[in-house]
Amino acid sequence: AALPGFQIDVQLNIMSFLSPQDLCHLGSTSSYWRAAMRDPLLWRYFLLRDLPLWTSVDWKSLPEVEVFNKAFSEASDKALYDYMAVYKKSCPQGRRSLRSSRSRYGAVTSFLQSLVTQTEPRFAMFGPGLEELDDSLVQKMMTCPEILLVAGLPHRQINGIGSGVSFQFNNSQKFNILTLYSTTSVERRRARTEQAVAVNKMFYQENNREGNQQAVHYSVIDQVKKVCKVVDAFIYVANAEAHKKHDRQEERARILAMIDPALGPPNRPLLVLSCVSHIGVERIPCVYMAHQLQLNLLHQPWMVQDTVAATLDGLLSGIEWLLEEANCKNAQ
């Protein structure tokens, strides 16, 4: 009852110790608190504080980079971001509540889709997180039936750099992952032993000149082109370990080569598994990963999901999203 008697800066300081949920409850108590709790500086604080802790972000919820890069004083009074709206749209809890409100329709759609889908969806999985981490994501996926059940043995070898494995999600929907490595297993082991960088056999570089700058542009080899033409979605395994060096511009160029609309139906979803070896490794927050890879410039649905190779934490959330998106695209 005494809180309104404090100066506004003291009130804001006190409210900053509340959770966003508690703050919304406070705003429902009176018109005074409804106005006070919408303060943009307060919600900007919540956004900058909580954003690095979020475990997923997608194409509908990624905050603009200016939201957390621009100093608050730079924005004019008429052009302030609605930080409260940005927070609610971006935070995983808000996205989950939107999905749960559509869950009944989604279940019906999934059932109807299962009646007309003749083949299990196929996903192409690639990226440095498959090869650079101390723990192998693929090996863990193959040996943890309590998390992900292997429903079909490896097949369709692709020039020594990839093969397809069928899995079963939640004891129901089957899907196939074509895992593509940049080199053969022998070359990967040699590179790790010698601490060298192996030549990536999936891509070849083409030089494009944009203005006065030499732009990096890749194309995929013919065997991988055949894969890209038949898959329903893509999984990019990014190395999210903060202590490693990363060339995100080159990574983005390789992602663009794989999802090239000339190689298959446009608008196929992309799941980015932002992966670290094990729990405790300092990671790059998924929102920063999305901006580093410039995923906001893509034209298809995408999602970045924090993942731990040693435990598969986060993997099922990403697969669930991918299956939903792939089914939606197949139904169109």
Distance CA 221, CA 201 (A): 8
pLDDT value, residue 19? 67
What is the structure's pLDDT at 39?
Answer: 76
Q: Does residue 107 or residue 13 have the better pLDDT?
A: 13
- So what's the pLDDT on residue 200? 81
Least reliable range by pLDDT among 91-95, 277-281, 309-313: 91-95
- For residue 151, give both structure tokens: 């429903």
Among 37-51, 104-118, 254-268, 292-306, where is mean pLDDT lowest? 104-118
pLDDT band at 177 (very low <50, low <70, confident <90, very high): very high
Domain boundaries, the chain: 3-70+83-91, 122-331
Which pLDDT score is estimated for 310? Answer: 96
Q: Provide mean pLDDT across the span 189-196.
A: 66
Q: Is 314 left (phi over 0), alpha (psi -120 to 50) or beta?
A: left
Q: Is 4 helix (H, G, I), strand (E, B) or coil?
A: helix
Query: The domain at 3-70+83-91 falls in which architecture?
Result: Up-down Bundle (1.20)
For domain 122-331, the CATH superfamily is P-loop containing nucleotide triphosphate hydrolases (3.40.50.300)
The average confidence (pLDDT) of the chain is: 80
CA pair distance 70, 48, nearest whole angstrom: 11
Q: Give me the amino acid identity at 226.
A: K
Average pLDDT over residues 42-53: 86
Give the mean pLDDT of 161-183: 84
pLDDT at 185 over 80: no
**Rounded Cα gap, residues 229 and 91, in angstroms:** 34
Kindly tell me if the per-residue pLDDT of 176 is higher than 50: yes
Q: Quote the tokens at residue 10.
A: 């003291």
Task: Write the pLDDT tens digit of every residue in 112-123.
Answer: 444 444 478 999
Give the pLDDT score at 182: 82
- Name which of 55-64, 175-184, 200-209, 297-306 the model is least confident about: 200-209
pLDDT at 285: 96
Gyration radius of the chain over CA positions? 22
Q: Do domains 3-70+83-91 and 122-331 have the same CATH topology?
A: no
* CB within 8 Å of 247: residues ≥ 6 apart: none
Where is mean pLDDT largest: 42-56, 160-174, 264-278, 315-329? 264-278
Asked if 278 and 309 count as a contact pair (C-beta separation under 8 A), the reply is: yes
Whats the size of the chain, residue-wise? 332
State whether the Cα torsion 22-25-27-30 is positive or negative: negative
* pLDDT, average across residues 178-196: 74
Report residue 117 as tokens.
């889908």
pLDDT of residue 109: 46
Question: Does the pLDDT of residue 192 top 50, yes or no?
Answer: yes
What's the pLDDT at 107?
A: 44
Task: Tell me the backbone φ, ψ of residue 199, rounded to 5 degrees.
Answer: -70, 130
What is the number of H-type helices and E-type strands within the chain? 14, 10
137: closest CA among 222, 233, 208, 240? 240
- pLDDT at position 209, please? 55
**Above 90 in pLDDT, residue 212?**
no
Task: Give mean pLDDT, residues 85-103.
Answer: 71
At 170 the pLDDT is 82
**CA 277, CA 134: separation in Å to the nearest integer?**
6
Q: What pLDDT is stored for residue 280 in this prediction?
A: 93
| Tally of CB atoms within 10 A around 5 | 8
Share of the chain above pLDDT 70, in %: 68
Query: Does position 331 have pLDDT exceeding 90, yes or no?
Result: no
pLDDT-derived band at 69, boundaries 50, 70, 90: confident
